[in-house]
Amino acid sequence: MSEGQALSTGRLYGVGLGPGDPELVTVKAARLIGAADVVAFHAARHGRSVARGLAAPYLREGQIEELLVYPVTTESTDHPGGYQGAIDEFYESAAARLAAHLDAGRDVVVLAEGDPFFYGSYMHMHKRLAHRYPTEVVPGVTSVSGAAAAVGRPLVERDEVLTVLPGTLGADELAEWLATTDSAAVMKLGRTFPDVREAFDRAGVLDRALYVERATTDRQRTMPLADVDPATVPYFSLALLPSALTGPGNDPAPPEGDAGSHGEVVVVGLGPGSRSWTTPEAAAALDAADDLIGYGPYLDRVAVNPRQERHPSDNRVEAERAAHALELARSGRRVAVVSSGDPGVFAMAAAVLEVAGRPEFADVPVRVVPGLTAAQAVASKVGAPLGHDFCVMSLSDVLKPWEVVVDRLRHAAAADLVIALYNPRSKHRPHQLGEAQKVLLETRSTDTVVVVGRDVGGPEEQLTITTLGDLDPETVDMRCLLIIGSSQTRVGRGGAVFTPRTYPG
């Protein structure tokens, strides 16, 4: 077909209508139905089309309707090719009718219950026409999704496997599948129901199997599969085997010793700055919380949710903050204690766990959700200065004597470790970084590589690569993290800083 011919043809659309509730027809499906020149739909010999009924609110006057009536459904046929021959001939004839419209430049919508590519009749038109005409398939909500919603049971969770099976398989084969999968949906019931029920029984899962009929419609019916009368089962029904993990008795247990409380404390690391550095696990913990507790500027980095209570506090009241979080959790609240970077690195995790050791908080669960550390963030921005052995130290003497800081710094320098320095300099401690520099120069050369990262991941991010001899402490503040290289740390191609993984010996 030439390009000019292709442009002159109509467009074929396979449009899914969902499982039966007219409100589950998508906005796109409704728009395309209303705009089409031709609307085609299947029906049995009685001529009543479920698909046409669902699409009726979106049809308009002047549209051409093509009713595609199956020659056989469940009855016998005298066609020389038998049932399959009669059906194949029907699909060829139906495709030819639609092709005539497409050749005339008319857009054709073929309606499909559920999803067009999920056990739907549309696929037979697609196979015969899509290679000849421009085609688009509009997905719809499947009957499996509708059935799971109808019974209020998740089908699978975590790494479980969902298996979708046609009821037309033999009972032995169905039973084999059902016995080896986590969850299943068996379609095409009706006259196949006795064999399907037997298969569930043979697989030993009949006790947790469910039956859903005409899901999401005003004629919906649900019940245990074992209780269904086979004589009442229509084609528009299915059998579900929901996950064994989602049934009764699988709700999370309350903390031991407090049957009425589901409170907990989660200490969450936001990462060093950018929201993209907050892990999905941390974001989920924040979203699930009833209360957020933390240093005010850190809480400001968490999006406001009117459902949650926020409890900002000063940076120097860690024990009080931890106790407040544990008190709230003991009353049944889900509490997220927010830290920058990683909560276990010079942050709130240790404080919370220390206070949680008091007898009055013995029954309050505490867990820690890690975050990207400031040291990792700064290192990644310049290359790989932490590529070999390193240590992490804080220059703050608020919680430990300055003499201890100096002693540890001297030993780390003598051990030739790369050193990541947190809390390097503040308004209350303006002299200590200069003193630390002198201590390091006792054993380190003046050309030792030093990286200064300021507000990394934030709007004022700044990175400086200098040397231990040229480092100017006056340019450093509490928003900085320093990485002091080892004797092996170097500046390589393109200015990248790295510490080789090998060490001379």
Task: Please write the tens of the pLDDT for every residue from 142-162.
Answer: 999 999 999 998 888 888 899
Gyration radius of the chain's alpha carbons: 34
How far is it, in rounded angstroms, from Cα 26 to Cα 327?
Answer: 47
Strand order in the sheet with 497-498: 383-384, 497-498, 490-491
Spell out the domains of the chain, with CATH numbers in brackets. Answer: 8-141 (3.40.1010.10), 144-246 (3.30.950.10), 264-369 (3.40.1010.10), 375-498 (3.30.950.10)
Token digits for 411?
Answer: 């030993």
Closest CA to 181 of 173, 192, 193, 191: 173
User: pLDDT tier at 256 (50, 70, 90 boundaries)?
Assistant: very low
How far is it, in rounded angstroms, from Cα 293 to Cα 456?
Answer: 23
Helix/strand/coil for 284: helix
**Residue 425: which residues within 8 A CB-CB, separation 6 or more?**
395, 432, 433, 473, 476, 477, 478, 480
With 0-12 CB in 10 A as exposed, 13-18 as middle and 19+ as buried, what is 439? middle
Q: Which pLDDT does position 74 carry in this prediction?
A: 56
Positive/negative CA dihedral, 352, 358, 360, 366: positive
**Residue 451: which residues within 8 A CB-CB, separation 6 or more?**
378, 379, 382, 385, 463, 464, 465, 482, 483, 485, 497
Q: Which pLDDT does position 226 carry in this prediction?
A: 94
Q: Which pLDDT does position 260 carry in this prediction?
A: 41
User: pLDDT tier at 250 (50, 70, 90 boundaries)?
Assistant: low
How far is it, in rounded angstroms, from Cα 163 to Cα 153?
Answer: 16
Q: Which pLDDT does position 247 carry in this prediction?
A: 63
Mean pLDDT of 392-407: 91
Q: Which pLDDT does position 254 carry in this prediction?
A: 45
Closest CA to 449 of 412, 493, 402, 496: 496
User: pLDDT tier at 450 (50, 70, 90 boundaries)?
Assistant: very high
User: pLDDT tier at 7 (50, 70, 90 boundaries)?
Assistant: low
Residue 249 predicted with pLDDT over 70: no
Positive/negative CA dihedral, 366, 368, 369, 371: positive
**Token pair 């006792």 is at which residue?**
442
User: pLDDT tier at 258 (50, 70, 90 boundaries)?
Assistant: very low
How far is it, in rounded angstroms, from Cα 212 to Cα 222?
Answer: 5
**Backbone torsions φ then ψ of 85, nearest 5 degrees:** -65, -40
**Residue 205: which residues within 8 A CB-CB, separation 6 or more?**
178, 179, 241
Report H helices in 104-181. 122-129, 143-151, 171-180
User: pLDDT tier at 44 (50, 70, 90 boundaries)?
Assistant: confident
Q: What's the whole-number average pLDDT of the chain? A: 89
Strand order in the sheet with 183-187: 162-166, 183-187, 237-241, 210-213, 221-224
Residue 164 predicted with pLDDT over 50: yes
Residue 395 predicted with pLDDT over 80: yes
How far is it, in rounded angstroms, from Cα 291 to Cα 279?
Answer: 19
Task: Please write the tens of the pLDDT for every residue from 260-316.
Answer: 446 999 999 998 877 788 888 898 899 889 999 999 889 998 988 888 999 998 877
How far is it, in rounded angstroms, from Cα 296 to Cα 315?
Answer: 8
**Token pair 């419209």 is at which residue?**
101
DSSP string, 203-218: TT-GGG-EEEESTTST
Residue type, 397: D
User: pLDDT tier at 339 (50, 70, 90 boundaries)?
Assistant: very high
Task: Please write the tens of the pLDDT for every residue from 344-385.
Answer: 998 899 999 999 999 999 999 999 999 999 999 999 999 999
How far is it, in rounded angstroms, from Cα 203 to Cα 174?
Answer: 9
Q: Best-predicted range by mean pLDDT among 67-76, 174-183, 239-248, 272-281?
A: 174-183
Cβ atoms < 10 Å from Cβ of 244:
12
Residue 440 predicted with pLDDT over 70: yes
